[in-house]
Amino acid sequence: MDSIWTRSEKLPKFPQLQGDIKTDVLIVGGGMAGILCAYFLQKQGIDYILVEGRTICSGVTKNTTAKITSQHGLIYHKLVKDIGIEKTLMYLQANQEALQTYEELCQNIECNFETKPSYVYSLDDPWKIVQELGALDDIGFEAEFRKAEELPFKTAGAVCFEHQAQFHPLKFIASIVKDLHIYEQTFVKELKEKIAVTNQGNIEFQKIIFTTHFPIDNKHGMYFMKMYQHRSYVIALKNVQMLEGMYVDERDKGLSFRNYGEYILLGGGSHRTGKKGGNWSELRDFADKYYPKSKEIAFWATQDCMTLDRIPYIGQYSMSRKNYYVATGFNKWGMTSSMIAAKILTDLIMEKENSYTEVFNPSRSMLKPQLFINIGESTMNLLTFGKKRCPHLGCALEWNEVEKSWDCPCHGSRFDENGGVIDNPATGDLEIE
């Protein structure tokens, strides 16, 4: 179950930490967000180290569909309603600037970077398209109605953003990561006052950035209440008609499409972690119907942290932890959000003002309906008897027959059939009797 990215690119290796060390800034987590933080801090001459519990990009980054876009579903009419025109425009501008930064960096990197139009389509509700276009017009962004005719099925129309992008994420990382200060196989198992404890030694720091996908510090920020995790699936197909654009359904459980070389990457089958969903079976059924001559050449799955208001949490970890910072809750749009996070967090580390900090502030009000759904899910689960319990906060685990893993419906931790931790927030293995 390797992604098409891991099949075509080998990343450089980094040493394991040996003994105690000091640094001004410690970055915990070696995915795209953490590596970009390290890259920009190094450009500014800031003393830092990055530690990764396994190997860099061995988590979610290697399983992305690698779209770089400001178009994150039909969200802009919802954002205008929830946070107003000014902040919605700031959210859009932050993503557009992230896209531009990738484009500038990729000019000198061979990573299959391509500018593409991006489309969000609706199968049967043209009013949703009209609403979104109206909101985008209100904030002054040019988007267009399109019919999405190159998809193999009929739609009610789509919102099109021109000049978005896609790339090969691991080729990009292989280029920028070579001279960065990274330790692999260095797992942070405990945090003390300005000290991170690992099996190989202690790391003394002044400031710390968590880019661990789901934050691992439960004492502050209440992230286990204001996020949940979602799994989705991808298959790579050849012998199919190529697409000129990138596509995603406006429904949470819809399909996504993009090309990579001679392949189409078909995504979908999604569900909340620990619940049942369509997984690869749904995608293969679709391919059999709409791409009968296609051949599957790779399949993989990924997991995403979902926030309560569809805006990532980027900034100070909590109001009580001044020198703790976090980037999480990318809502399935990790590539663009990783760049936003790196730029905001670099400015915060340097004590520079960043105009987007307020929009992504992790301590913003989270009195949203999803908060009470999350609390209800956790409460009901904790009252369940007779099942294996997650070492994170004690929720009952569900056996995932498709992926052969123990999954937590509360907060999304996952463990292999032998109990080894796969996905956080759990920081330790599951005891299998």
At 158-201, the pLDDT tens digits run 999 999 999 999 999 999 999 999 999 999 988 998 999 998 99
Sorted by sequence, the CB contacts under 8 Å of residue 57 that are 6+ apart come out as: 11, 30, 31, 32, 35, 169, 170, 173
**Residue 17 burial by CB count (10 A; 0-12/13-18/19+): exposed, middle or buried?**
buried
Strands 398-400 and 321-328: unpaired
Question: Across 273-419, where does the E strand assignment appear?
Answer: 295-307, 313-318, 321-328, 398-400, 405-407, 414-416
Cα–Cα distance measured from residue 409 to residue 390, given in angstroms and rounded to the nearest whole number = 10
Sorted by sequence, the CB contacts under 8 Å of residue 190 that are 6+ apart come out as: 196, 197
Q: Would you write out the chain's pLDDT as a tens digit for each of its 433 residues?
A: 799 999 999 999 999 999 999 999 999 999 999 999 999 999 999 999 999 999 999 999 999 999 999 999 999 999 999 999 999 999 999 999 999 999 999 999 999 999 999 999 999 999 999 999 999 999 999 999 999 999 999 999 999 999 999 999 999 999 999 999 999 999 998 899 899 999 899 999 999 999 999 998 877 888 988 999 999 999 999 999 999 999 999 998 899 999 999 999 999 999 999 998 999 999 999 999 999 999 999 999 999 999 999 999 999 999 888 899 999 999 999 999 999 999 999 999 999 999 999 999 999 976 666 766 666 666 666 666 667 888 888 888 989 999 999 999 888 899 998 899 899 888 888 887 6
Q: Which two tokens stand for residue 295?
A: 């051949």
Cα–Cα distance measured from residue 427 to residue 433, given in angstroms and rounded to the nearest whole number = 19
Q: What pLDDT is stored for residue 220 in this prediction?
A: 85
The DSSP code for 396 is B
Q: What pLDDT is stored for residue 386 in this prediction?
A: 61
Q: Which two tokens stand for residue 157?
A: 């129309």
Query: Domain spans of the chain?
Result: 4-64+171-225+310-360, 369-421
Does domain 4-64+171-225+310-360 fall into CATH 3.40.50.1820?
Answer: no
Strands 321-328 and 201-210: parallel
Beta-carbon-side half-sphere exposure of residue 424 (alpha carbons within 13 Å): 26
Sorted by sequence, the CB contacts under 8 Å of residue 299 that are 6+ apart come out as: 1, 233, 234, 235, 236, 280, 283
Q: What pLDDT is stored for residue 381 in this prediction?
A: 65
- CA-to-CA separations, 45 to 24, 104, 293, in angstroms, rounded: 11, 21, 53
**Residue 81 burial by CB count (10 A; 0-12/13-18/19+): exposed, middle or buried?**
exposed
**Distance, CA of 300 to chain centre:** 15
Instruction: Answer whether 345's CB lies under 8 Å from 324's CB.
Output: no
Identity of the residue numbered 226 = K
Cα–Cα distance measured from residue 111 to residue 306, given in angstroms and rounded to the nearest whole number = 28
Please write the tens of the pLDDT for every residue from 226-269. 999 999 999 999 999 999 999 999 998 899 999 999 999 999 99
